Amino acid sequence: MGAYARLAALFAALTALFVVFGWAIGSLMYNDWVGGVLWFLVLAGAMNLFAYFASDKIVLWSYRAKIVTEAEAPELHRIVRQVSQMANLPMPRVALVPTDTPNAFATGRSPKRSVVAVTQGILRLLSEDELRGVLAHEISHVGNRDVLVMSVAATIAGAISFMARMFWWNSLFGGSRNREGNGLAALLAVVGMVLAPVAAAFLQLAISRGREYKADHTGAKTIGDPLSLASALEKLEAANRRRPLRFGSPASQGLFIVNPFSGGGLVRIFSSHPPIQERVARLRALARGVDQY
């Protein structure tokens, strides 16, 4: 499925979800399911437009990323330009995230509007070859048209949780006119609050895991150095477990090259990233001439 087809599917899923919430709130609490559905359809349309045009800005803002010029970060710009030329893609803008947690991500609506962001920590942790591998991975996301879909997915995952919380508070303090429906509305609100994070996690799983394997493969082939990317992934995974990111939203974890947030057990099972061991094994096999992708 192409990037724009996946994007259309995301927008359709968001619209359907909002319609369900609108029906539930309208019919159970206000005896007006038509009004509830129409109001939430308008809200879904606004959210779709907002996600399409502003998701990259939201991501950069939420991680305090600052666009840096070539004068401010000459070595970083040099590597990004080198990899972009090797990938035959336009030079993206470059951003720096002020945190010691080593990581990187890409965002933007199209290759011409893309941004590659790295943290201060990754510049201190990785060698130049390893950093080149990471940037090749991120620029591959740009070339594969993943960044728009992943940015919108992060926005929609946050919207799912927002709708669940809105339904919950509305059921408690909304001044319902349908007293008989209050109990059922409250029950649905509780179910929504519990299931919303799971739905958001499955949304990220559906979008991100296959994209990460593809970006690993494309990035490694672009620079002809799978082992440097494999080494970088191992260092980043260990460092992010020791020093997880303390700001931003877990809903956008799929944008990063490795999961920047802490968690174990079910959190790791529902991670938007495939296991690092599997990613590294595939890259090492690729270096031996065995393509497992």
Q: What is the pLDDT of residue 185?
A: 56
Instruction: State both tokens at 91.
Output: 């030079």
Domains of the chain: 3-58+150-188 (no CATH), 61-146+205-287 (3.30.2010.10)
Structure tokens at 81: 């330009």
Q: Quick check: 163 and 196 in contact, CB under 8 A?
A: yes
Model pLDDT, residue 196: 58
Residue 238 CA to residue 264 CA, distance in Å, equals: 14
Q: How many CB atoms lie within 10 A of CB 181?
A: 19
Closest by Cα among 275, 278, 247 to 261: 247
Q: How far apart are CA 44 and CA 20, in angstroms?
A: 11
Per-residue pLDDT of the chain (293 residues; tens, 9 = 90+): 555 666 566 667 667 777 777 776 666 666 666 776 777 777 767 766 776 677 788 889 999 999 999 999 999 999 999 999 999 999 999 999 999 999 999 998 788 989 999 999 999 999 999 999 999 999 999 998 776 676 666 666 666 666 666 666 665 555 545 545 555 555 665 665 566 556 655 665 656 677 899 999 999 999 999 999 999 999 999 999 999 999 887 767 888 999 998 655 444 555 668 899 999 999 999 999 999 98
- How high is the pLDDT of residue 87? 96
- Predicted pLDDT of residue 199: 61
pLDDT of amino acid 252:
76
Q: Which secondary-structure segment (H or E) carries 132?
A: helix 128-143
**Three-class SS of residue 66?**
strand
Q: Report the C-alpha gap between 59 and 61 in whole angstroms.
A: 5
The reported pLDDT for the residue numbered 53 is: 75
Query: What are the residue numbers of the active site?
Result: 138
CB 113 within 8 A of CB 106: no
pLDDT of residue 266: 46
DSSP-assigned letter for residue 93: E
pLDDT at 265: 46
**What single-letter amino acid sits at 41?**
L
